[in-house]
């Protein structure tokens, strides 16, 4: 092989590698977008559920009457 043939072969191989890298970049970008499209709703649902549980517990705590210390001691004395 002469140097010109080697250069041509190298040019073709580099072009082939560049095409493969471009395809890989597109595939990776699409996979990332797909993952985000699936993850964002799941994260939002989990955050909503946690907020709901927190609100429910806060509301349940507010409805529970609290005994004063004197009433608790008096109730304990009658037991």
Q: How do residues 26-78 score in pLDDT, each as one tens digit?
A: 999 999 999 999 999 999 999 999 999 999 888 877 666 665 556 666 666 66
pTM greater than 0.75: no
Distance from C-alpha of 11 to C-alpha of 7, rounded to nearest angstrom: 6
Tokens of 16: 């082939």
The pLDDT score that the predictor gives to residue 65 is: 60
Residue 10 has pLDDT above 80, yes or no: yes
What pLDDT does residue 75 have?
A: 67
Higher pLDDT, 74 or 23: 23
**According to the model, what pLDDT value does residue 11 have?**
96
Q: Which of 64, 15, 39 is nearest to 7 (CA)?
A: 15
């Amino acid at each position: 092989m002469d140097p010109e043939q080697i250069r041509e072969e190298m040019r073709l191989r580099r072009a082939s590698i560049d095409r493969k890298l471009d395809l890989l970049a597109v595939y990776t970008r699409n996979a990332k977008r797909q993952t985000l499209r699936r993850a964002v709703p799941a994260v939002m649902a989990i955050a909503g559920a946690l907020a709901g549980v927190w609100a429910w517990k806060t509301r349940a705590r507010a409805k529970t009457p609290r005994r004063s210390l004197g009433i608790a001691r008096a109730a304990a004395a009658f037991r």
